Amino acid sequence: MTAEQRAFWDRFCAETGYSGEPVDVDQFGDSEAMADELLHLVLTGQKQATCALARWYEQPGARFPEPGDLSVILDGRGQPACVIRTTKAEVKPVREADADFAWIEGEGDRSFEYWWDAHIAYWKREAKREGFEFSEDLPACFEQFELAWVPDQAERA
Query: Which pLDDT tens digit goes with each residue over 78-97?
Result: 999 999 999 999 999 999 99
Query: 3-147: what fold?
Result: Sulfate adenylyltransferase (3.10.400)
Beta-strand ranges (E) seen in 46-150 are: 49-53, 70-74, 80-93, 139-149
- Domain ranges for the chain: 3-147
User: pTM here?
Assistant: 0.91
- Is 145:87 a contact under the CB 8 Å cutoff? yes
Q: What angle do CA 92, 81, 85 make, to 5 degrees?
A: 40
Helix (H, G, I), strand (E, B) or coil at 143: strand
Residue type, 122: Y
Write the pLDDT tens digit of every residue in 92-115: 999 999 999 999 999 999 999 999
Beta-strand ranges (E) seen in 30-125 are: 49-53, 70-74, 80-93
